Structure 1
Amino acid sequence: MAYDVSLDNTKDVAGAREEMFDFIQRNPNYNIIYFDGWDGLGATAVLRSIPQALLSMKSPPPGLCFDRIIYIDCSTWKSKRVMQRKIAHELKLDRKTMAMFEERDEEDDFNGVDHGSRDVIVEVSAMINQTLIQTRFMLILLNGSTDEVAPSEFGFPEYQ
């Protein structure tokens, strides 16, 4: 389920973050939350503060316990492949998987594929999926572009 969060009563980053945490705990079935900045309070500051706050909690409430917290800033992304590489790096995937990026980039360089046109590597998407499929994770994607980002394309498991 998806939900567009509107935090009308909040005027600062800490308040917006706490309202977001409250929403997550009260609505465990919403697995995709869209958050947009408003009236001078930017989404970047709020979203960046979420992993910091969660990781600093000594005993987070059960609704805020995650096996992994993944924060990816793709607001200035160059290509899907660059974003996928950031995700793989964040997940600390093995050297063999990371080497696929170099191999594919060399092939694309040789074939004259523009850097901005480089797509995800399907095998890496499978490794990302395999890494996350049995975990409870929070993915925070900061998307500053007008392009829609489909996390499943990068290997994130889809939830119904």
Structure 2
Amino acid sequence: MSIRHGLLALLSRGPRYGYQLRAEFEACTGATWPLNIGQVYTTLSRAERDGLVEPGETDEQGRVVYRITEAGRAEVGRWFGTPVAPSDRPRDELVIKLAMAVAAHPDALSVIQAQRTATMRTMQELTRAKRQADGDLAHRLVLDSMIFHAEAELRWLDHCEKGLS
């Protein structure tokens, strides 16, 4: 997930200071990916260095308000217009873990069963959270994606288990 691009997208709606960006980012994602405020300011500093944002006036509480530049608008436009390739995603730790379990663990089925239990629990929590996210489309879409990933993971775990049987 590109924090930088997410912050640029929020800044494209108007100037904001770091704590506002953090709060809006977490609101859009339903706090699924909480941000450390230090991460927000580090990202803003790098975006400023790269000419994508510029600091504006300091507000009455002494907070620096950032605004997106034309280069930043072009960057966020490219980001929205470019599909995410599978190669752009980090390695899947579960895939690596199960591959290693099959190769080196005496009871790979127990690894699969433990993961299945955890994934089912996660799916139940996500489903409850989705029921409570009424009216917030961005949050529901994030939860839907996570639920679909959990469902796919369960199907894949079933496939792995059949392969070991």
TM range (shorter): under 0.3
What TM-score do the two structures reach when normalised by structure 2?
0.24
What TM-score do the two structures reach when normalised by structure 1?
0.25
Q: Which has the higher helix share?
A: 2
Greater C-alpha Rg: 2
Q: Which has the higher strand share?
A: 1
Structure with bigger RCO (C-alpha 8 Å, 6+ apart): 1
